[in-house]
Amino acid sequence: MKLMFISDIHGSSYYAAKAIEKYKEEGADYIVLLGDILYHGPRNSLPKEYEPKKVIQILNDLKDKIICVRGNCDAEVDQMVLEFPIMSDYNIIFHNNKRIFATHGHLFNESNMPPIEDGDIIIHGHTHIPVAKELDNKYILNPGSISLPKENNPNSYGIIEGKEFLIKDFEGNIIKSIVLE
């Protein structure tokens, strides 16, 4: 199974459409949305083509292929227009004999780890900074932000296939990678 991870769309129809384009190119089985879907948040600038209504349509067209968690900028009113569940603080996915704890990152993160075992994975967004590392026998992954990257990082997404996690920019360049032993 191939999973695509995107985070922090923040209402950008431009980057939501680009992410779906990459999802199709990658041939991923599911998209895992790591929160902050429609609203840009008070600390962020407006992203390119800020059009939450278009983002709703883009994502609802793939509702059967989306696994999602709630970000700190997501609200119950967003759930009223999105046709897939978004209000869970985390989701557990099993892949290749590993447990993936998918969350946004504002509640669980490297500084506040969830109850996971050695070899398990926490993947989150929130920081808008790509991360792929092993720490204390656990994997910490962050695909970065597709719409508002920070610290001079490119717009990016993540892919897990087999035992490899890749963070890619929209040109297909690998920014970071790690083998999940």
Query: How do residues 29-69 score in pLDDT, each as one tens digit?
Result: 999 999 999 998 888 889 999 999 999 999 999 999 999 99
By CB atoms closer than 10 A (0-12, 13-18, 19+), residue 51 is middle
**CA-based nearest residue to 100, from 125, 117, 87, 86:** 117
Query: How do residues 117-132 score in pLDDT, each as one tens digit?
Result: 999 999 999 999 999 9
Query: How do residues 80-105 score in pLDDT, each as one tens digit?
Result: 999 999 999 999 999 998 999 999 99
Could you tell me the pTM of the whole model?
0.96
Question: For domain 2-179, which CATH number applies: 3.10.129.10, 3.90.1150.10, 3.40.50.300, 3.60.21.10?
Answer: 3.60.21.10
